[in-house]
Amino acid sequence: MSALTLLNEEEQAFREMIADFAKNEIEPIRMSMDESQQMPDELVQKCFELDIMGVEIPEAYGGIGSTFFNALLVIEELSKVDPSVGVLVDVHNTLVNNCLLRWGSEAQKAKYLPRLAKNKVGAYALSESGSGSDAFALKCKATPTDDGYVLNGAKLWITNAQQAGIFIIFATVNPDAGYKGITAFIVERDTPGFTVGKKENKLGIRASSTCELVFEEVRVGKDQVLGEVGKGYKVAIETLNEGRIGIAAQMLGLAEGAHAHALAYTHERKQFGHPLFSFQAVQMKLAEMATRIEAARLLTYNAARLRESGHPYVKEAAMAKYYASDMAEWVASQSLELLGGYGFTKDYPMEKLFRDSKVGRIYEGTSFMQLQTIAKLL
């Protein structure tokens, strides 16, 4: 029994709606987005209009009040066609929205969630040039003032930065306190002194913006502290634990898309007078891909169901992220090879999916860090 058969009717209908959107609105422009390294504002607006930017946001705040699991279905389906769009929606939902839903005050929820549901993209800014896997070695500083804080420093590799209007920023109010000085802040794009800097020229997910953020005497009020002062490390860790399931869903979708292209091609392409699929070696390779994809789906869905039901899920989230990203890179590579010379060209989307797959083992916790998390929880 496939994990797909475990979806209820509402979830299946939701999946089909997103699949139609991806095919009709994203597929025709995915290669032009990749080549231009830009995602059209019109496409981002369509994501808002489809209500997939506020999946878990309650209806009272303008969202659709759906589930974390449905948010993952959105990410998976979008990523089958273009993982760049998948990660835009992923970071917005699983990191930014979830962060505010869990840690935001009532006033903060009322102020920011309606905009995140309807017209403002969110970004999550933790990484710096010197703090990657060592996430809490950050140098961005928040100096207390009478009425709030002044932010100085920079962030690097921030997904969605080019489109975002609302940012969750992590800075330290006391460098001597180590991770206990880290605090989360909500910062709006038009705040004086805040600049979205260089956009990175990346190997893959090129339509997804990844930029530097610069803070020069950026003043924020006390009401812009998200959670408690000095508890930003807890906000970051617990949010990323959820976000990693989102990356697993992105990589799952990518692999499904690659496998579908390879399967279709091997039925159409003939060599020695027979379709490629008629050769046993090709059948075995496609069968192995399908098996690994199904294993990743089960890990990802299981982690999501555990999270929704309130059970411990950190180990399972790390397993899903680790395995799905490893699997996606392998499936994309094998699929490209099955297309032969065509797979190496831009006439087919395989070379793009192959490039896109590499980042899964890097962002939101490298594969090494996922294995370390799993080992700690054995």
CB 346 within 8 A of CB 355: no
pLDDT reported for residue 132 = 77
* The pLDDT of residue 5 is above 60: no
Q: Is 364 a catalytic residue?
A: yes
> Residue 375 carries which side chain, given as an amino acid letter?
A
Rounded to an integer, what distance in angstroms lies between the CA atom of residue 107 and that of residue 170? 20
- Which pLDDT band holds residue 136 (cuts at 50, 70, 90)? confident
Q: Give the pLDDT of residue 137.
A: 84
- Provide the pLDDT confidence category of residue 131 given band limits of 50, 70 and 90: confident
Q: What is the pTM of this model?
A: 0.96
What's the CA gap between 245 and 373, in Å, rounded? 14
Q: What are 323-338's pLDDT values in tens digits?
A: 999 999 999 999 999 9
All domains in the chain, ordered by first residue: 3-121 (1.10.540.10), 123-229 (2.40.110.10), 234-376 (1.20.140.10)
Express each pLDDT in 89-125 by its tens digit: 999 999 999 999 999 999 999 999 999 999 999 999 9
Residues in contact with 325: Cβ distance below 8 Å, sequence separation at least 6, in sequence order? 247, 248, 251, 357, 360, 361, 367
Q: Is the pLDDT of residue 2 over 70?
A: no
User: Whose structure tokens read 């392998």?
Assistant: 330
Cα-based torsion angle of the residue sequence 47, 52, 57, 58 in order, rounded to the nearest 10 degrees: 110
Q: pLDDT of 49-73, one tens digit each?
A: 999 999 999 999 999 999 999 999 9
> What gap in Å lies between CA 218 and CA 185, rounded to an integer?
11
Please identify which of the residues 212, 316, 351, 364 carries the catalytic annotation. Answer: 364
Residue 64 DSSP one-character state: -
The two tokens of residue 48 are: 């808002």
Centre a 10 Å sphere on the Cβ of residue 305 and count the other Cβ atoms it contains: 16
Q: What is the pLDDT of residues 140-178, one digit of tens each?
A: 999 999 999 999 999 999 999 999 999 999 999 999 998
Q: Cα–Cα distance between 290 and 352 in angstroms, integer?
A: 20
